Amino acid sequence: MTVILNSKMNMRRFYVSAALLLTTLLAVAENNPYRSDVFWVTVPDHADWLYKTGEQANVEVQFYKYGIPGDSIAINFEIGGEMMPADTKGTVIMRKGKATIPVGTMKKPGFRDCRLTTTVDGKKYSHHVKVGFSPEKLRPYTTMPADFQQFWENEKAELAKFPLTYTKEHVKKYSTDQIDCYLIKLQVNQRGQSIYGYLFYPKKEGKYPVVLCPPGAGIKTIKEPLRHKYYAEQGCIRFEIEIHGLNPEMSEEEFKEISAAFNGRENGYLSNGLDSRDNYYMKRVYLACVRSIDLLTSLPEWDGKNVIVQGGSQGGALALVTAGLDIVAKILNKYLRMDLGRAMSLSGMCVALSAALVYDKKTVVLSILGTYFNGIILDHFIFDHNKKRRVCIITEKEEALRQFIINELHSGATIYEAIGAYNLQKHNEIITIVDKSEYQRLMTFINREDPKAFITVYNVSNMQYQPKIWKK
């Protein structure tokens, strides 16, 4: 699962509903193998794998080993409902490299899982596929809590109070002539809990998209960090993380011991604290993913536009959760110059409105109202709605900017001479203090007139000055 969001995204393609439900997945690994000598090809008679209830589904199977199609190979199949015991079993023989498996049908909306096995040269191989029957008619068996959005916005607000804190250590063994690798220890809350990850940079100077890669399920090391080096080689900053606070430099045996001790069926982390939204193990993981996005978007090498979250199995669920909780609000904050509280409200309301497709009207209305008022509270009491901003600008459009500040914003400005350290070139730096509405107008003007302007912004909580009397 990959979620890619940028300033030009189509919001209708972004749909997140119940984030908490996504992590009840019980898979123990990412879905796609890294290496294999064999290749399965499955072709349904409906190209989109979707059927109406009552329709018969058939799937053609092809099996290749070392690129050679199998022939006279027995393919065993077991077919049943999603995560249910098989209700149909059988065997088909491949002829000229192909065989057809009758998957059957369903009277009610849902999915059928077809599990395939074969033995070639004494080695067993397996594969599975799913087909859907009228999935658009599926309805959730739980209802969205009325305070769902408010709960998560409160949690993110608490997280925002804690400063971004991490250590960064160069890892020579995973660095090459094109990329640099760093071991990151990122603190995720005030209790001192942390996660680890490998951060890969292109060595070439520039601005790059950022990619967050949460892991598949299990307590395990980060497998072969260099297997995804092509991200950085092709111009992306990639942060691959673990979620349990375990240093990936530990040995494989140490990870196995910890996993065996703390991740049994009776006490696995996915069910730890599941009866409490405040104490659920994965709540900290969700917020750790949010904090990881904070880290990536704070890097001076980020291109300021593109944020990608990518993962498989549990990592896919975490990609959706992270996008729903955090990325949309950050984009609205950056590109529409909205205060973060308002941006969180707007993104939350989009998600709440989409829930109208599956939840009752009362729940949707309460969610929207709660999200809206919570955003107002965040702006006024947490993010300080009345703060002014000290904006420092170096631009080639100096005179146009000075005139805009004085004549359009009716504000003051100070001009300092600055000297660049790289080539000792002299520039003028214009400094002005503006309120929220003036800041939005100022940034719009700068982005239009000189997108390459160098800008730094500081929050100002208090100032003392003599107001100017503007001549008409």
Read off the CATH number of the domain in which 70 is found. Answer: 2.60.40.1930
Position 455 pLDDT exceeds 70: yes
Distance of CA 34 to the CA centre of its chain: 22
- Clarify whether residues 13 and 63 are in a common domain: no
Pairing of strands 179-187, 110-120: unpaired
- Clarify whether residues 350 and 399 are in a common domain: no
- Clarify whether residues 77 and 156 are in a common domain: no
Render the burial of 218-249: b for 16+ CB within 10 Å, e for the rest: bbbbbeebeebbebbeeebbbbbbbbbbbebe
Domain boundary among 341, 357, 382: 382
CA 260 to CA 251: how far, in whole Å? Answer: 15
In a domain, 175, yes or no: yes
pLDDT of residue 383: 42
Domain boundary among 382, 416, 438: 382
In a domain, 471, yes or no: no
CATH number of the domain at 423, please. Answer: 3.30.70.120
Beta-bridge partner residues of 127: 116
Report whether 283 contacts 277 (CB < 8 A). yes
Kindly report, residue by residue over 168-188, the tens digit of the pLDDT: 999 999 999 999 999 999 999
| Closest by CA position to 31, among listed 322, 323, 314, 321 | 314
Percent of the chain with pLDDT over 70: 76
- Clarify whether residues 301 and 393 are in a common domain: no
Least confident of 62-66, 282-286, 338-342, 428-432: 338-342
Least confident of 26-40, 256-270, 347-361, 406-420: 347-361
In a domain, 405, yes or no: yes
> For residue 147, what pLDDT band results from cuts at 50, 70 and 90?
confident
Beta-bridge partner residues of 117: 76, 126
Kindly report, residue by residue over 196-217, the tens digit of the pLDDT: 999 999 999 999 999 999 999 8
Instruction: Specify the amino acid at residue 298.
Output: S
Pairing of strands 454-460, 388-394: antiparallel
In a domain, 468, yes or no: no
Beta-bridge partner residues of 169: 183
CATH number of the domain at 346, please. Answer: 3.40.50.1820
Position 395 pLDDT exceeds 80: yes
CA 258 to CA 260: how far, in whole Å? Answer: 5
CA 152 to CA 84: how far, in whole Å? Answer: 33
Q: Label residue 445 exposed, middle or buried (CB < 10 Å: 0-12, 13-18, 19+).
A: middle
How many residues would you count in the chain?
472
Domain region containing 456: 388-460
| Closest by CA position to 171, among listed 232, 259, 253 | 232
Q: Is the dihedral of CA 337, 339, 344, 349 positive or negative?
A: negative
**How large is the average pLDDT for residues 107-120?**
94
pLDDT of residue 86: 93
In a domain, 25, yes or no: no
pTM exceeds cut of 0.85: no
- Clarify whether residues 106 and 158 are in a common domain: no
In a domain, 128, yes or no: yes
pLDDT of residue 157: 86
pLDDT of residue 29: 43
In a domain, 179, yes or no: yes
Kindly report, residue by residue over 352-392, the tens digit of the pLDDT: 444 444 445 554 454 445 544 444 444 444 444 446 788 89
| Closest by CA position to 211, among listed 224, 227, 199, 195 | 199
CA 168 to CA 165: how far, in whole Å? Answer: 10
- Clarify whether residues 184 and 227 are in a common domain: yes
- Clarify whether residues 167 and 275 are in a common domain: yes
- Clarify whether residues 371 and 451 are in a common domain: no
Beta-bridge partner residues of 309: 3, 212
- Clarify whether residues 145 and 132 are in a common domain: no
Domain boundary among 363, 382, 401: 382
- Clarify whether residues 46 and 84 are in a common domain: yes
- Clarify whether residues 426 and 332 are in a common domain: no
Position 34 pLDDT exceeds 60: no
CA 62 to CA 415: how far, in whole Å? Answer: 72
- Clarify whether residues 239 and 363 are in a common domain: yes
In the chain, the number of structural domains is 3
pLDDT of residue 28: 38
Q: Which residue has the tokens 């107001």?
A: 467
pLDDT of residue 466: 52
